[in-house]
Chain A
Amino acid sequence: MAKKVVIMPCSGIGKAYGEIGRQATYKVAESLRPEEVETECLARLMIDDPETKEKITNNYVITVDGCAKDCAKKNVEKTGKTVDKAMRTLDVFKEHRDLKPEGVLNLGEPGMKLADFLAEKLAEEVDSLVGKGE
């Protein structure tokens, strides 16, 4: 069976970056690349959930962190899995300086646009990974 891509956002609660990463992940998983992408709760990795660990072991993993603390990447790598691509929402904001979210969870139009740009980048990374094929 072809490997899929599991996208794991950090979902940080303290900054808007967390929600932007989450919204971008949902857009890719539900609209842009529904056949190739799956999601999984990052928190389940933290409790050593065997199904979650198996899923990330057997598939490609892209982590989407809000900032340089790289929590999603670190939590995935604690399981022994090396992430296939690590992305940061902060880097997308640097390319779209005019798009400032209106709140931490209620992003407003500019925040959702930023999520859309991030989703496009994620979709490109998904294409790159599944294009490798195994």
Chain B
Amino acid sequence: MAQAMKIPTDIRPTKVGIVPCNGEEICEGSVTRFACRKVLDEIRPGKTVTICLPLFVAGDEKERNFACHYPTITLDGCGKRCAAISTEKLSGKPARSLVVTDILKKHGAKLSGNRKTLTAEDLKLVDLVAEEIAQEVDKITGKED
């Protein structure tokens, strides 16, 4: 049984692993991908690493070792929380577990529903989700940019 990860308060981690669910069925799955890459490439470069969920579950050592030694933030598209559950099973409880549907509900926002191509409005919501992730990254690393 995976042990819950405790983040020591005296030593802040320098990197955080982001685990998107990549769900193919619904638009929210596409949002997890775009939001994750936005954080990695633009908002918090150098402080975040993506964990590829299928590679992680398939048994890739690199992905699993990182998730064992660094805190993770899972980003699921829906309430099934596949990324959170898989991460906890394989390397430990994520430091934060975010769900796109919950984030959008909190902001009273709604996606177009087009899973193949995100609209301009959808991309604004991607930014919103990415900012939520970034704030969690900052709380974990104890740093503000």
**Measuring CB to CB, which residues of chain A are less than 8 angstroms from any residue of chain B?**
8-14, 18-19, 22-23, 25-27, 30, 39-44, 46-47, 49, 69-72, 74-75, 104-105
Residues of B within 8 Å of A, CB-based: how many?
Answer: 28
Interface status of B13 (Cβ within 8 A of chain A): no
**Measuring CB to CB, which residues of chain B are less than 8 angstroms from any residue of chain A?**
20-25, 29, 33-34, 36-37, 50, 52-55, 57-60, 80-83, 85-86, 115-116
Further contacts, 6 of them, CB under 8 A, given A19-B33, A42-B24, A105-B34: A11-B22, A12-B52, A12-B54, A27-B116, A43-B21, A71-B58
- Once A and B bind, how many residue pairs between them come within 8 Å at the CB atom? 92
Chain A contacts of B58 at CB under 8 A? 69-71, 74-75
Give the docked Cα–Cα distance between A104 and B33 (Å): 10
Q: Is the CB of B57 within 8 A of A75?
A: yes
Q: Is the CB of B54 within 8 A of A75?
A: yes
Chain B contacts of A104 at CB under 8 A? 37
Question: Least Cβ distance of A133 to chain B in Å?
Answer: 26
